[in-house]
Amino acid sequence: MTNSKPFYITTTLPYVNSDPHIGFAMEIIRADVIARYKKSLGYDVFFNTGTDEHGAKIYENAVKAGITPQEFVDKSAKNFKDLISLLNISNDVHFIRTTDEKHIKACEEIWNRCITKGDIEKKQYKIKYCVGCELEKTDSELINGRCELHPDREIEIREEENYFFKFSKYGNQLKDFYKNNPQFVIPDFRFNEIKSFIDRGLEDFSVSRLKEKMPWGIPVPNDEAHVMYVWFDALTNYISTLDWPEGGNYKKYWEQGDKREVVQYCGKDNLRQQSAMWQAMLMSAGLPTSTNIIIDGFITGADGVKMSKSLGNVINPFEVIEMFKGVTDYPEDVLRFVLLHDISSFEDGGMSLESIKQSYQANLANGIGNLTNRVMKMATSYGVELSSDDKNITVYDDKNNSLEKFDLTKGVIEVMSGASWIDEYIQKNEPFKKIKINEEAAKKDVYVALFHLFGVALKLEPFLPKTSAKILECIRENKMPEKPLFNRLP
Partner RNA sequence: AGCGGGAUAGAGUAGAGGUAACUCACGAGGCUCAUAACCUCGGGACACAGGUUCGAUUCCUGUUCCCGCAACCA
Helix-then-strand count for the chain, H and E: 21, 16
Closest CB 66 distance from RNA, rounded Å: 21
Give the residue, chosen from 2, 3, 124, 138, that forms a contact with RNA under the rule CB under 7 A: 138
- Tell whether residue 201 is a contact of RNA (CB under 7 A): yes
Q: What's the min distance (Å) between Cβ of 89 and RNA?
A: 19
Q: Does 423 bind RNA (CB under 7 A)?
A: yes
Closer to RNA by CB, 45 or 83: give it.
83
316 binds RNA (CB under 7 A): no
Binding mask 358-377 for RNA (x = CB under 7 A): x---x--xxxxxx-xxx--x
Enumerate residues 6+ apart whose C-beta is below 8 A from 123: 161, 162, 163, 164, 204
Number of residues that bind RNA (CB under 7 A): 68
Residue 133 contacts RNA per CB under 7 A: no
- Cβ atoms of 114 and 55 within 8 Å: the answer is no
Q: Exposed, middle or buried, 145 (CB in 10 Å: 0-12/13-18/19+)?
A: exposed
For residue 288, what are the CA distances in angstroms to 113, 144, 260, 278?
14, 43, 10, 11
Task: Kindly tell me which of 347 and 473 has the beta carbon lying closer to RNA.
Answer: 347
Q: Which residues pair with 459 in a beta bridge?
A: none
Task: State the minimum distance, in angstroms, from the CB of residue 12 to RNA.
Answer: 5
Given 101, 152, 159, 203, the residue binding RNA (CB under 7 A)? 203
Strand 44-51 versus strand 6-10 pairing type: parallel
Counting contacts by CB under 7 A, is residue 303 touching RNA? yes
Q: What is the closest distance, in whole angstroms, from the C-beta atom of residue 308 to RNA in the complex?
A: 11
Contact call for residue 478 and RNA (CB under 7 A): no
* C-beta closer to RNA: residue 318 or 432: 432
For residues 209 and 260, which CB has a smaller minimum distance to RNA in the complex?
209
Supply the DSSP symbol for 360.
I
3-class DSSP assignment, residue 395: coil
What is the contact mask toward RNA in residues 63 to 102, using x (rule: CB under 7 A)? ----------------------------------------
Site for RNA in 379-418 (CB under 7 A): none
Decide if residue 291 touches RNA (CB under 7 A): no
SS3 205: strand
Find, among 322, 370, 361, 366, the residue nearest to 342 by Cα.
Answer: 361
**Helix, strand, coil shares of the chain as percentages rounded to 5?**
50, 15, 35
Whether the CB-CB separation of 217 and 55 falls below 8 Å is answered with: yes
| Cβ contact 221:111 at 8 Å | yes
User: Please, which contacts does 207-210 make with residues 24 or more away whose CB atoms are closer than 8 Å?
Assistant: 207/120, 207/162, 207/163, 207/164, 207/165, 207/231, 207/232, 208/162, 208/163, 209/56, 209/162, 210/160, 210/161, 210/162
Regarding 129 and contact with RNA (CB under 7 A), the answer is no
Nearest residue (CB) to RNA, 64 versus 200: 200
Measured from the CB atom, is 273 or 292 closer to RNA?
Answer: 273
Q: Where in 209-228 is the site for RNA (CB under 7 A)?
A: none
Contacts with RNA, 10-39, as mask; x by CB under 7 A: --xx-x-x----------------------
In Å, what is the CA distance from 488 to each residue of 234, 363, 464?
A: 44, 11, 18
Distance separating alpha carbons of residues 112 and 180, to the nearest angstrom:
29
- CB closer to RNA out of 204 and 243: 204
Binding residues among 438-477 for RNA as defined by CB under 7 A: none
Please state whether the peptide bond connecting residue 484 to the residue before it is cis, i.e. omega within 30 degrees of 0.
no
Report the residue from 6, 20, 55, 317 that binds RNA according to the rule CB under 7 A.
55
269 binds RNA (CB under 7 A): yes
Is residue 173 within the footprint of RNA (CB under 7 A)? no
- CA pair distance 183, 186, nearest whole angstrom: 7
Nearer to RNA, 138 or 388 (CB): 138
Complete edge-to-edge strand list for the sheet that includes strand 120-130: 135-137, 120-130, 156-165, 205-206
Rule CB under 7 A: is residue 194 a binding residue for RNA?
Answer: no
| Contact between residue 359 and residue 341 where contact means Cβ atoms under 8 Å apart | yes
Q: By C-beta, is 79 or 256 nearer to RNA?
A: 79
77 vs 90: CA distance, rounded Å: 18
Stretch of 84-92, 267-275, 385-393, 451-459 lying at the interface with RNA (CB under 7 A): 267-275
Give the three-state DSSP class for 123.
Answer: strand
* Residue 420 lies near RNA (rule: CB under 7 A): yes
Among the candidate windows 62-70, 201-209, 254-262, 453-461, which touches RNA by CB under 7 A?
201-209
Residues within the interface to RNA (CB under 7 A): 12-13, 15, 17, 52, 55-57, 136, 138-140, 167, 189, 192-193, 196-197, 200-206, 229-230, 234, 268-270, 272-273, 303-304, 306, 344, 347-350, 358, 362, 365-370, 372-374, 377-378, 420, 423-424, 426-428, 430, 432-433, 484-488
